[in-house]
Structure 1
Amino acid sequence: MFVYLFTGLAVTLISACFLLCPRVSDRYVRLHVLSLALPTVAAFAGLISADQTQEMGFWRSDRLTWLISFYVLLLGWTIQRFSIRYMYGDRSYRSYFALLTVTVGAASITWTSDDLRLLVLLWGLPLLGLVWLSALKKEWEPARNVSRLMAKMFAASWISLLLAVVWLWQATGYWRISLALSVESLTRIEWENATGISVLLVLAAIIPAGQWPFQRWLLESSVMPTPVSSAMHAGLVNAGGILLAKFSSLMAGGFPQTLLLFPAVVSVLVGTGILLVQPDYKRQLVASTMAQMGMMFIQCALGAYSLAVLHLIFHGLFKATLFLRSGSVVPRSKRALISPYPPSKMWILCGMLGGIVLGVGFWLAAPHEHLRMLRALLLGWSLAFAWWQMAVFHNGRWTGFFVLSGLGLSAMAFHDALAAFLGGTLPAAGPGAGAESGIVLLFVCLGLAGIFFSGRCSTDLWAKLYMWLVHIGEARDRAVESHPRYLKAYVRQGGE
C-alpha cells in the first residue's frame, strides 16, 4: 500500500508544480483538486487492509498511521475543494493550492516514518508550509507580523524536537524509531535522559497546539483566510497529540507526562473563558481550539493516548466544518420560535439532575475502563448544557433533549468501536485512577464556581475576570487592522 500512497502523492506534487506555471489556465485547479483523491483512496485502502504492522525501508505503518494519513488527506481534499471558489480572484490563488498540497502531503506521511531524522524533517515541513500560507498576503502588514510570530514559535517547536531526537539517539544508539522505543532500548535509558527527552517532546507538542503560555500566535492567527484557518485548526494544531502518542512508550507514567497536566488544564480554563466573552465568531473558534487541545493533552497526561488521537480527529472534522461554514452564521429571521423568558430555576435544576443521571449511568456501565469517569463527566455536562440552551424554545424541548442524548450515547459507542479497531496500537498507562479522579473533581468544582459567579455578574471580582479574559483574548495592535489598507492599493492599481 505504501507504493500506491506515494505514487498518488507524487502525482499531486507534480500537479502542484503545473499550477505554478503561468501558462496553465486557472481551470486546471479543478483537475488538480480531483487528483488529490488518488492518495486519499490509497490511504483508505491501507486502513481497511492494515491487519498487522507493515515495513518498507524507512517507513512503518499500522492501523493508527493509516487512520491519520486518511484523515489528513481527506481533510486536505475537502478544504481545497471548498477553496476553488472561495479563493478565486486572489493574487496568490495558484500558490495557495500548491503550498497546501505540499503541506498536506508532508503531514500525511509524517507518522509513517520509522526514522528519527526523517520524522524531524517531516515535522518541520507542515510547519513551514503553514507559515508560507499565512504570509501569502505579504502586502497586508498584520499578516506579515503574524507569520513572523508563527515562524518563531514553530522554529522553537522544531528545535525542541530536533534536540529530543538527537538525545534519544545518543541514549539508545538507534535512529530507527521502532528500535529506539523497543522495550530493550527503553530499559537502558537512564531516568534523567528519559525525563529530559520527554520534556523536550512535550515542549515541541504544546507550542503548535497553541497551549498556555504559547497561545498568543494562535489567538492572532484569525487574520488568515478561512480555508487556511480550517487547515490549521483541524490539522496542524492536532499534531502535538500524535507526537506524544508516537513516543508514548518513552513517556508512559513519567514525570513529564504528569507535568503536562498543568498547561493543559490552564489552557482549557483560559480557552473556555475567552470563548464565553469574545464577540468575534472566528476568535471564538480559535479559543475553542485552545480549550479542546488542552482536553486532548489531559488525555495524553492520563495515559489515554488512543482516546486523545480519536479526540483530535473528531475535533478536527468538527472544527473544519465550523470554519468552512462560518460565513453562514447570520441572525435568524424568524423569532417566533424563541421564548422571551429566561429559563426558570426548576428547568435548570432538572437539566443538572438529568446530566448527572446520564453521566453516572454511563460511568457505572464500565467503571473500571480507563478514563471512563472523565468521559462520563463530559457527556453529562454537555447534555445538561444543551438542556439549558433549549429553554429558549417554545416547543420541542423534550424531543430535542432526547435526540441529543441519543446522539451523545451513539457518539460514545462509535468512539469505543474505533478505539477497539485500533486495538493495542497505543498503550494506556498514566499516573493512575487518582489523577483522573483529581481532574474530574477539579472540573466539577470549577464548573460549579462558574455557575455561582455567573449569577453575580455585578461583583467587582466578576468584572475584573471578564476584562482580563477580554484582554488576553484580543490580538495585539500590530496583528489587526480596522480596514486592510492594501486593498486601497489594489484599487488604485486597477484604476490606473
Structure 2
Amino acid sequence: MESYTLSTLENQTEEQPNGIPLVSRISSKLHWFLLTASILALIFYQVFAPNWEYLDIFRINGFTLLIWTTVLFFSSIVSSYSKNYLTGFQYQKRFSLFSICFTLSVMLFVASNHILPLLISWFAMGYFMAKLIGVNKTWGEARQAETFSLRYFISGALVLTIGILLLCYDSDQFTLQGLMITDEFSNSILIISTVLIIIAATIQSAIFPFHRWLLSAMTSPTPASALMHAGFVNGSGLLLTLFAPLLILSNTLWILFIIGGITAILAQFQKLIQVNVKHKLACSTIAQMGFMIMQCGLGFFNAAIAHLILHGFYKAYLFLSSGEQVMQSSPQESPRIKITFLQAVAVLLFGVLGAFLFSYLTGKTNTTDSSIFLTLIVAITVGQATYNIVKEKSFSYIEKLVASAVLFIVGISVYALLFNGITILMSEMPMIQVPHSLDTLQIVFGVIFLIGFFIMKLGVHRKSPWLYVKLLNLSQPYKKTIHYYKK
C-alpha cells in the first residue's frame, strides 16, 4: 500500500523548470505555513489562555505549542535546505513526503491526551524516521540501516505500549490527564511500567546500550540527519516530561540520573577517537542526550526541554554545514590540553562566576538539593568556553579577559532567559521541576562523573591501548550498514 501511494504521488508530480519536484515545493511551503500558525497560536494562547481540548483525545497547551514551534522551525529549515540540496536525487519526493509525515507525527504526539493517538504517533515517529534513514533504496547499506533502526524503534514502541497499557489497566484511566492525577496504582505495576517507559525513552535517544542504531544511521542524507539529531532523538525528553509525575511517584529518577551520566561520559570519550565527521556528530548527540536524561533524573524536566531545544539549534547547524567542514579541513592530530597556571585560574574563576550568575537568574541557589548538579554543569560549560578563549594565541591578555567576561555574561543571561521562559510555558504541566535532597548515591556518582570528565579532557585514553580499543569497538555501527555490499 505504501509503495503504491508513494509511486502514484511521484508519477503525478510535476517539476519546476529548475528541477525541484512539486512535492518538495509544497512540503517546504507547508512547513513554513504551519510554523507561522504555531507561533501565532502560541502568542494567542499566552494572551487569552483558552481551553483547547477535544473529547479528551487531544489537548493543546503551552508545552504543546512550544514543541510544535520548535519542531516546525527545524523541519522548515531542513525542508528549505533539502529542496535545493537534494535536487537531482532520485528519491527527493519520497524524502519530502516522509519529512512532512515525521513532523506531523511529532505534532500529534505532543497534542495527544488519549493513549491511542499517543502510542500510534510514537510508532509513526520511528517508522518515518527509519524510512528517512533508508530513503536511498538503491544503496544496500541504507536498506540495512533502515531495517536495523526500525527494529529498535518497533521494540521501543512495543515496550512503551506495554508500560502504558499496564498503567491503564491498573487504574482504569486511558488519558494522560487521568493517569497523572490518579494514585490508584499498585506499587509493583507502577515500578514495572515506569521502567518500561524509561527503556522506551532510552532506545529512542540512543542511550547506552541502545546507541548502535544512531551510529548505523549515517546512510541517511544530510538533511535527514539534521532532522533526526535536532528532533527525533530528542523525543525521549518529551516522553519523560509527559510522564514526569509517575516517574517521581515511582522513585525511579535515580535510574535516569545514572544511565544519563554514564552515557554522557562514554559518548564524549568515543567522540574524541572518531575520524568521520558524521560519526563525531553522532557521538556528540548521544552525549548530549545523556545530559538531557541526567537532567530528568535530577527532577528538572524544564531544564531537559531547554537543553533539547538548544541542542536542536546546535546540531541542525552542524549537520547542515558538515559538508563545508569536510571540504575545508584536512587530517591532523587531535589537540592536547596544555594549560598554564594563569589560564587555569581564569578558567576556574569564570566557571565559578558563571555558576553564581546562573543560580541567581534562575533561583537555583540551594546547594543541598539536586539543583547543585545543574549549576555544576553550567560551571563546567563556562570553564570549557573560557579555556577555548584563553588558549587562543592571537588574543592579547585584555582581549581574552574581555571576551571571556562578555561570553559568560551574555551566554548565561540568554540561557537563563530561555530556561525561565520555557518554565513559564510549561507551567500547566505537573511536576516539571521537582528538586530533591542530595543522597549518597548522587554525591558518589557526581564525583565519579567529574573524575571521568577530567580524565577525558586530559587525554588519558590515548595512553591506554586497551581503553582506546574498547571505546573504538563500542562506537562501531552495525556491520551491514558500512561497506557490506560490493556494488
Q: TM (normalized to structure 1)?
A: 0.85
Distance in 2 of aligned mates of 1:330 and 1:159: 39
Evaluate the alpha carbon distance shift between residue 17 and residue 37 of structure 1 in structure 2; reply closer, same or farther with a 3 A threshold.
farther
Evaluate the alpha carbon distance shift between residue 32 and residue 361 of structure 1 in structure 2; reply closer, same or farther with a 3 A threshold.
closer
1:393 partnered with 2:389: no
**Correspondence 1:28-47 to 2 at 5 A:** 28=22, 29-47=24-42
Distance in 2 of aligned mates of 1:160 and 1:268: 24
Residue 198 of structure 2 aligns with which residue?
202
| 8 Å CA contact 1:83, 1:227 repeated in 2 | yes
Secondary structure of the structure 2 residue equivalent to 1:223: coil
One-letter identity of the residue aligned with 2:268: T
CA RMSD of aligned residues (A): 2.8
Evaluate the alpha carbon distance shift between residue 411 and residue 19 of structure 1 in structure 2; reply closer, same or farther with a 3 A threshold.
farther
Residue 8 of structure 1 aligns with which residue?
none
| 8 Å CA contact 2:61, 2:428 repeated in 1 | no
Gaps of 5+ in 2: 1-5, 330-334
Secondary structure of the structure 1 residue equivalent to 2:135: coil
| 8 Å CA contact 1:70, 1:108 repeated in 2 | no
1:411 partnered with 2:414: yes
Q: What is the aligned length? A: 459
Secondary structure of the structure 2 residue equivalent to 1:55: strand
- Deviation (angstroms), 1:421: 3.6
Evaluate the alpha carbon distance shift between residue 109 and residue 342 of structure 1 in structure 2; reply closer, same or farther with a 3 A threshold.
same
One-letter identity of the residue aligned with 2:10: L
Bigger drift between 363-372 and 319-328 goes to 363-372
Secondary structure of the structure 2 residue equivalent to 1:221: coil
Secondary structure of the structure 1 residue equivalent to 2:14: coil
Distance in 1 of aligned mates of 2:462 and 2:146: 40
**Correspondence 1:303-452 to 2 at 5 A:** 303-329=299-325, 343-360=339-356, 362-363=358-359, 366-368=364-366, 371-390=370-389, 391-395=391-395, 396-414=399-417, 415-427=419-431, 428-429=433-434, 431-434=436-439, 437-438=443-444, 440-451=446-457
Residue 3 of structure 2 aligns with which residue?
none
Evaluate the alpha carbon distance shift between residue 253 and residue 457 of structure 1 in structure 2; reply closer, same or farther with a 3 A threshold.
same
One-letter identity of the residue aligned with 1:20: E
| 8 Å CA contact 2:274, 2:280 repeated in 1 | yes
Secondary structure of the structure 2 residue equivalent to 1:317: helix
Distance in 2 of aligned mates of 1:74 and 1:380: 30
Q: Deviations over 1:228-247 (max 9, x none)?
A: 11111111111111111111
Q: Deviations over 1:174-218 (max 9, x none)?
A: 222212322xxx321111111111011111111010000111111
RCO comparison, higher one (Cα < 8 Å, 6+): 2
- Deviation (angstroms), 1:280: 1.6
Residue 277 of structure 2 aligns with which residue?
281
Q: Deviations over 1:247-302 (max 9, x none)?
A: 11111142432222232121111111111221222111101111111111111112
1:479 partnered with 2:481: yes
- Deviation (angstroms), 1:317: 1.8
One-letter identity of the residue aligned with 2:164: V
Distance in 2 of aligned mates of 1:437 and 1:189: 31
Evaluate the alpha carbon distance shift between residue 366 and residue 210 of structure 1 in structure 2; reply closer, same or farther with a 3 A threshold.
closer
Evaluate the alpha carbon distance shift between residue 143 and residue 247 of structure 1 in structure 2; reply closer, same or farther with a 3 A threshold.
same
Secondary structure of the structure 1 residue equivalent to 2:59: strand
Residue 265 of structure 2 aligns with which residue?
269
| 8 Å CA contact 1:341, 1:392 repeated in 2 | no
**Correspondence 1:132-147 to 2 at 5 A:** 132-147=131-146
Bigger drift between 89-98 and 298-307 goes to 298-307
Residue 491 of structure 1 aligns with which residue?
none
Residue 100 of structure 1 aligns with which residue?
99
Percent identity, aligned pairs only, is 21
Residue 7 of structure 1 aligns with which residue?
none
1:171 partnered with 2:170: yes
Distance in 2 of aligned mates of 1:437 and 1:363: 19
Distance in 2 of aligned mates of 1:383 and 1:295: 16
- Deviation (angstroms), 1:314: 1.4
Gaps of 5+ in 1: 1-15, 334-338, 487-496
